Structure 1
Amino acid sequence: MFIDVVDLRNFYAQPLGIVARRFVGQGIRAHWNEVRGERIAGIGYTTPYLGIFREDAERCLAFMPASQGVVKWPSNRAGLASLVDETDLPLTDAAVDRVLLVHALEMADDPVRLLREVWRVLSANGRLLAVVPNRRGLWARVDTTPFGHGRPYSRSQITRILRETLFAPKGWGEALFVPPVQRNWFLRSAGAWERAGPTVLAPFPGVHIVEASKQAYRAIPVRREKRVLVPRLEPALAPSPGGAVRTSTSSFLGAGVPGQGR
């Protein structure tokens, strides 16, 4: 179940949300550092992160699920956000080059169906970038942040669901090694936590950031066809000496001379 959009907006306006936006945004940018001329769609609550691409991308669109709600974005320009059914996007096939998922996969009632819809709207060389709460991280255990809601994933679970929906994981990243503590004095050390995290707290980041490419074709396992046994001889009707009809296979044996059966 998706979190209400007002709660999401309020979280990112708080000091802890600002820290989360900073470090998750850095992780996203590390994967997508060149998006010039490309079309990007964000699904979930992606507006804190889509802004970093607006100057370079051809267009950025924010699709917010109906059960979450929608807010105007950007606030000072023509709106680029829309309320949608996340499993039935208002886009044609292969309409966008990249899709960003934030607060989406773990919230979706049917994540497989969501990813199949993402596959549909991505171009042949399209790429997906998903920010997903880590099942082992502290952020997934605290429900005072959006990352503590929905279903968190391990890396193997993310890999499995991506492959099931015809995506191939291409790159991994992590973010939010800093504990989710709502104290300004503690958040001053957030940068040190984030720098030391990959070495000291490697298994316990708050989120996984996984990039995946769209697979245009799926391998189908080869199965040996079953052999069907066909009889070499089939019954045939042939006249008997007394004028009755009897069953014979003589025509198949090459001995169809009248009277031979007497």
Structure 2
Amino acid sequence: MFNDAVDLWDFYGTRVGQVARRMIRRRVRELWPSTKGETVLGLGYATPFLRPFRDEAERVIAIMPSQQGVLHWPREGKGLVCLSDEAELPLQDVSVDRVLLVHALECTEQLRPMLQEIWRVLAGNGRLLVVVPNRRGIWARLDRTPFGHGHPYSPSQLSRLLKDNMFAPSLTAHALYMPPSNSPLLLRSASAVEKLGERWFNRFSGVVLIEATKQIYARPKGRAVKIRQLLPMPRRRATALNTAGGHGRMAENLQRRKQK
């Protein structure tokens, strides 16, 4: 079940939310240092992490799932957000170069249809970046933040899910090592905690990020179906069999008459 867009807005307005946004956005920017001339799509509630791409990419748009609700973004100028079913994106095939998926994968009830839609709209050389709560992290265990809702993933689980839906994972990263606390001391030391976590506590990050590319030549998993092929019978052989069958029936009739 999706978090409401208003609740997400409120969270990222708090001090904890601002720190979380800064830590995750820094990691996203490291994975995507340049999007010049590309079309970037944010799906889910990705608007807190899209601003760095606005002055660089050719086009930046956001789609919020219908169950989540929608809020105007950016504050200044025309809106760049639309509301849509995550399994029916209002975009043409191969029309997007990059997709940033945040607060969506762990909440959707249409997991595979959504990934299929992302595969459809993504260009052949496009990239998908998924941000999900880490199953082993403390953020996924506390429901007072959006990362404590939905289905968390370990890196291996997320990688397997992407492979099963025709994506090829290429990079794995982690972010958000600071505990979800309002302590002023922890908030001030968030950057130091982040560096420490990157070096020693990768497994216990708050979120997992995996970048994947579109696998064009792929076959969905499943058993191969054997098709039984029926060949036409040669005409002469069919005639001979029919004739033999006819003689057989005549002999049976004669035998019955004799018995009577």
- Give TM-score, length-normalised by structure 2: 0.86
State the alpha-carbon separation in 2 of the partners of residues 143 and 75 from structure 1: 28
State the alpha-carbon separation in 2 of the partners of residues 187 and 179 from structure 1: 9
Cα drift, residue 121 of structure 1: 0.7
State the alpha-carbon separation in 1 of the partners of residues 89 and 228 from structure 2: 46
Structure 2: any 5+ residue segments left out of the alignment? 249-260
Q: Deviations over 1:19-47 (max 9, x none)?
A: 11111001101111110000011011111
| Equivalence for 2:257 | none
Q: Deviations over 1:50-73 (max 9, x none)?
A: 101001101110101111111110
SS at match of 1:116: helix
Native 8 Å contact 2:166 2:220 kept in 1: no
Native 8 Å contact 1:63 1:83 kept in 2: yes
Native 8 Å contact 2:45 2:104 kept in 1: yes
Assess, with a 3 A threshold, how the Cα gap between structure 1 residues 229 and 193 changes in structure 2: closer, same or farther. Answer: same
Task: Tell me the C-alpha RMSD between the 2 structures.
Answer: 2.5
Q: Deviations over 1:135-194 (max 9, x none)?
A: 000000111111111100011110111011100001010000111112222211111110
* Percent identity of equivalent pairs: 48
State the alpha-carbon separation in 2 of the partners of residues 107 and 166 from structure 1: 21
State the alpha-carbon separation in 2 of the partners of residues 117 and 13 from structure 1: 31
| Equivalence for 2:132 | 132
Within-5 A mapping of 1:25-104 = 25-104=25-104
| Equivalence for 2:155 | 155
State the alpha-carbon separation in 2 of the partners of residues 46 and 162 from structure 1: 19
| Residue 119, structure 1, aligned to residue 114, structure 2 | no
Cα drift, residue 124 of structure 1: 1.1
Native 8 Å contact 2:155 2:172 kept in 1: no
Q: Deviations over 1:95-135 (max 9, x none)?
A: 11111001010011121111111001111111100101000
State the alpha-carbon separation in 1 of the partners of residues 161 and 7 from structure 2: 28
| Equivalence for 1:204 | 204
SS at match of 1:3: coil
State the alpha-carbon separation in 2 of the partners of residues 180 and 77 from structure 1: 33
State the alpha-carbon separation in 2 of the partners of residues 190 and 239 from structure 1: 92
Assess, with a 3 A threshold, how the Cα gap between structure 1 residues 223 and 238 changes in structure 2: closer, same or farther. Answer: closer
SS at match of 1:178: coil
| Equivalence for 2:252 | none
Within-5 A mapping of 1:3-18 = 3-18=3-18
Assess, with a 3 A threshold, how the Cα gap between structure 1 residues 92 and 188 changes in structure 2: closer, same or farther. Answer: same
Native 8 Å contact 1:175 1:207 kept in 2: yes
State the alpha-carbon separation in 2 of the partners of residues 47 and 64 from structure 1: 9
State the alpha-carbon separation in 2 of the partners of residues 226 and 118 from structure 1: 32
- One-letter identity of the residue aligned with 1:112: R
Within-5 A mapping of 1:181-192 = 181-192=181-192
Native 8 Å contact 1:15 1:184 kept in 2: no
Greater shift, 213-222 or 190-199, is seen at 213-222
State the alpha-carbon separation in 2 of the partners of residues 229 and 76 from structure 1: 68
State the alpha-carbon separation in 2 of the partners of residues 71 and 128 from structure 1: 23
State the alpha-carbon separation in 2 of the partners of residues 220 and 166 from structure 1: 8
- One-letter identity of the residue aligned with 1:79: G
State the alpha-carbon separation in 2 of the partners of residues 239 and 80 from structure 1: 79
- One-letter identity of the residue aligned with 1:156: S
Which structure has greater helix proportion?
A: 2
| Equivalence for 2:23 | 23
Native 8 Å contact 2:43 2:102 kept in 1: yes
Aligned residues: 243
